[in-house]
Structure 1
Amino acid sequence: MKGVRGVLGCAGLLLIATGGRLLWGLPDPFGVLVWLGGALVLHDGVLAPLVLAAGLAVAAGPARGVVRGALLTAGALVLVTLPLLLRPGTPPNPSALPLPYGRNLAAVLVAVAVAAGAVALAGRWRRQRQRRPGRPESR
């Protein structure tokens, strides 16, 4: 295990050196460093605490698996569409955003939430039906 750590550490240092060399060759490395700092602050200050809070809320509630699946699906959808939504100006290819992506993303997220709610309710209904006393066992 010690050897694997050493190899991975050397690979990481090599990648850091490569990134530094590429950054040094840019005409404006300060802009890239500001962007990287902003991404770090956004991730560690906003995104990570939100994900942790959502994880704690999901772990304490019923239908954890369904809620986890819905959150994973919603997160993937947002990650795919967010770069197109946040890009400033008009897209270079007019077919890239032919429809209102913001409205459609909201509609798909609502559909995911409704589907997850329906699956959770169906599971609850099935569990309640199985617990009824006096019900003959099926073979």
Structure 2
Amino acid sequence: MLRYGIGGAGLALMGLGAWLTAAEPEPLGVLVWLAGALVLHDGILAPLVLGVGLILVGRSRRGLLRGASVVAGSVVLVTLPLLLRPGAPPNPSALPLPYGRNLAIVLAAVAVVTGALYLVRRRGAPVRRRGAPARRRKDFPRR
């Protein structure tokens, strides 16, 4: 029953979106923007995320690297439209900061924090000799 309710709500929102698009003075511009977003997501962003995931498969701290990748990707995704906007903004106070420099600073901070967390976790991890079996937990009986 919940599935049908959520599906109905989704169809209603899709209908609202189509109605609002048709009510726009230039619906073609909205459709071009939507097509561009689809191409950007399916043609660039999704393959990039999958590629990074394939690279991280064999890493020992892949959870940490995934988290850093999500944070860095989100920051770039939010900042990219401000960086790629052509020309000067109509309102000078809209973009008063150097977004390129600030993006580099934030990405460097993400890299430094990730590196520090990696070192802390690595230092706290138990050291095993190569080829030595893992210690068995004592609270489980042997079979």
Normalising by the smaller structure, the TM-score range is 0.7 to 0.9
Summarize the alignment of residues 25-104 of structure 1 with structure 2, pairs less than 5 Å apart.
25-104=23-102
Structure 2 unaligned regions, length at least 5:
130-143
Identity %: 60
Q: Partners in 2 of 1:73 and 1:116 — Cα distance?
A: 11
Give the Cα separation in 2 of the matches to 1:4 and 1:122: 45
Cα distance, 1:33–1:132 mapped onto 2, change above 3 Å? closer
Question: Higher mean Cα deviation, 37-46 or 80-89?
Answer: 80-89
TM-score, normalisation: structure 2? 0.76
Q: Match for residue 109 of structure 1? A: 107
Match of 2:120 in 1: 122
**How far apart are residue 95 of structure 1 and its match?**
2.9
Large movers: runs of 4+ above 4 Å: none
How far has the Cα of 1:67 moved from its partner? 0.9
What is the CA deviation profile of residues 22-72 of structure 1, one whole-angstrom value per residue up to 9, with x for unaligned ones? Answer: 122222212211111111111111111111121222232121122122112
Q: Which runs of 5+ in 1 are unaligned?
A: 134-139
Distance 1:121-1:20 versus aligned 2 partners, 3 A rule: same
Higher helix share: 1
Q: How far did residue 125 of structure 1 move?
A: 3.0
Question: Which residue of 123, 127, 136 maps to 1:131?
Answer: 127
Q: CA deviation at 1:11?
A: 1.4
- RMSD between aligned alpha carbons? 2.1
- C-alpha distance in 2 between matches for 1:125 and 1:72: 24
Matched pairs, number: 129
Counterpart CA distance in 2 for 1:80 and 1:37 is: 19
* Higher RCO (C-alpha under 8 Å, 6+ residues apart): 1
Give 1:105 deviation, angstroms: 0.3
TM-score normalized with structure 1 length: 0.78
Distance 2:50 2:103 in 1: 24
1:60 is paired with a residue whose SS is coil
After superposition, give the CA deviation of every residue in 1:106-132 in whole Å (9 maximum; x if it has no partner). 1220221122122212322333xx427
